[in-house]
Amino acid sequence: MNGTRIYARLWHGVLAVIVLASLVIQISLTVRGQPGADGVVQPAVTRVVRLFSYFTIQSNILLLIVSATLALNPGRDGRLWRVIRLDAVLGIIITGLVYATVLAGASNPSGAGWWSNLGFHYIAPWWALAGWLLFGPRSRTDKRTLWWAVLWPVAWIGYTFAHGAATDWYPYPFTDVTDLGYGAAVLNMTFVVVIAVLFAAMLWGLDRRLPGGRPAASSPVPVTDVERQPQS
């Protein structure tokens, strides 16, 4: 229905604006520079590299791409897009869960940082999940998409350990090899991966059962073919 498409575009458009505003605020604060826990202000390049090393930032960037494209075309499809969309939804759910259960107690943002934190960790995760449940599009998840979606979190874990070994900086306390040792840090990362796999399985199952979709094909689906057949 056209009405459903309008609501879907509005929902995803609002999410895109929230995520974009949060990213702009956080990037501006990072470029401006603030002393770290040791009272030292790191060089601008170091601050920017560290900012984009956070899983939170990467998942929100993926979510911005997905929500912006869905605001333009709620029936969007395509092999690469399916992978990005699944990574965005999974990544942002994990971001919200890990922050709420592990990181929130040690975080005390203020000023503009409070607003970006609100967008990243409280609004974006659950707004994105609600949008996925309400509007889809579906079906967009199949076995091939699941396998390809694993590459980004695995690459992030490898990068995090490699970057930490070179700089002695880790984005999150539960990844800090210096304090925890490799055994505990790897165990923590493994636990996060298990959570991701469980949520991926849940989303896959829901994607196949919720109304408003079509069977997810295993072969690539040209975007142009889908765009000729708008969905509700």
* 146 alpha carbon, distance to own chain's centre: 15
Residue 214 has pLDDT above 70, yes or no: no
Question: Is the predicted pLDDT of residue 230 greater than 90, yes or no?
Answer: no
Residue 109 pLDDT more than 80? yes
Is residue 42's pLDDT more than 60? yes
DSSP per-residue codes, the chain = -HHHHHHHHHHHHHHHHHHHHHHHHHHHHHHH----TTS----HHHHHHHHTTSHHHHHHHHHHHHHHHHHH-TT---HHHHHHHHHHHHHHHHHHHHIIIIIGGG----THHHHHHIIIIIIHHHHHHHHHHHH---S---HHHHHHHTHHHHHHHHHHHHHHHHHS--SSGGG-HHHH-HHHHHHHHHHHHHHHHHHHHHHHHHHHHSSS--PPPSS---HHHHHTS---
Residue 222 has pLDDT above 50, yes or no: no
Report pLDDT digits (tens) over 68-77. Answer: 999 999 888 8
Report in angstroms the alpha-carbon separations of 89 from 11, 44, 83: 15, 30, 10
For the segment 96-125, the average pLDDT, to the nearest whole number, is 90
Prediction pTM value:
0.84
Residues 6 or more apart in contact with residue 27 via CB below 8 angstroms: 48, 51
Cβ neighbours, 10 Å, residue 151? 11
